Structure 1
């Protein structure tokens, strides 16, 4: 009987692991369908896919909750909108996040508004109090790290440079140890990171992750095939704890480079998707599919949505603000080998046209 019980327990564990992995992959697929529906202003369909996604993942990404909230507002589903707003409030976005964002103005006239603001105030204080020691340490680490990275190194001698690099490595090691001890520090553990009161942004430790590929001693930013921090974050991504787009921003890692969409670049008045991985778009697409990521074509559709709707209320697809080109620069028909034209930039005038 004991042997049967043990076998049943093992079987249950294996099934649970498989379901979790399957659920995470399906979550990404449903979110992709919801985001594509948003690009077509098909909010009813988007609402359905968000419902399915959140049934699969009980701790959805903050940007997905935020997008679902905006969809509910557009559909006049105020009760549902408040439910999502409460979810965000419980993660410490704070009261100004709701008070200052124009998209939430419609909710101010609803009976639940004052209760939502109190909830947002109280939850932010609670999270800060409960995680005071951890958050304080993270802030100190981030501050010390930024000071190290801002140090002029050209005039430093070999020993001073070595000491500085060792201090940098020590902070990186502390962060990895922290992850190994308590797990990935998602907003469900330490609360949301907010900029300018209204923008949900990357976690406070993001710069430590991104710049750990920089070696001060050799003055090089090196590319590595595999590392412990990268592996840890890839696992967190497979568990639905971190967005793949975030990994693309912070990891210089062969696995990420092979899965990521080729770089979005601008030349003159045009956007291009460029593949610098020595593999075809079809090969990249197949690897993305196996990892539960959206096809490249869907990614490009979201890019176009952001290009033609620069002030939209959603957080989907690539951020184009950092890719705004100088419109009065001669366009190159095909700036690099392996590039595909995405679209022309609205309102942009090519310098060659100005001469005519």
Structure 2
């Protein structure tokens, strides 16, 4: 059974300023604690994680020491690995940022973080582009669009991902109110950036019941998106299969149905390449890899596309791989994960636990990956 790796960060002082009437917790945690305010971030995180207890055997957390995650995971019996070290004294923004960096280095598929808008700012300051994150609301101010509507909702959305439900990726804004100005009676909000967050899509149910998704229309939409976002002088490797062949046709390109083709600057650079030819084209050159899934089976690497070998994958970089699949095709998996079988166990283990899937015009899903 595949194990899903998730990062967890708890800001233990989040929310302390609310009961104390401080309009926030930034720089006010010590005063709030002195007034007898009880820290609740861990309990709210516990509410989210209780939803995942039945999936415990499929989960492995990576977290920061003590109250930032390790204590709660130990208490609840979740398997976990601790990285990093806490700063001396009260938990601070630097701890959160360091935790984000280390969890990303560990290759987690999703980072859950508990806090408020200040915590979201810290996550935003350290997160890498495209890393999925999801906030568990535990702060005084929750203006940012990166939090679940409740702790339980955060747990349910994470469970949906583990169980193979289609989870759409979207951009959520990080906003924060100037707490000092708020204490002076002025409401001043500021935009700090955007994070990639999973959202409930309800796609599996919709596709099975309605069956109205048109493969041709979706491929046309995907072609429009790709054409708008071509990177100049970057080589796009199109794997075999009707999905990518149809996508190329919508771009006006004559690719091979069962071969691997290379596109650069909107034109066919090389068609039906061998493994050796492909490696020569991508080695040392900025490249992107587009593959699709075998319908009903789920393999994205290792079935019918052996030209995309381990050395080719390493040359392109796993971070530059995108799966192209319609929601209808993903629904044929009935919740089973996508699969990789490159022939290199070490490389297979380096794949993330979930991959980004292009499913429509500017529509990305996060879908589990088995190995």
Is TM > 0.5 for Structure 1 vs Structure 2?
no
Higher relative contact order (CA 8 A, sep 6+): 1
Larger helix proportion of the pair = 1
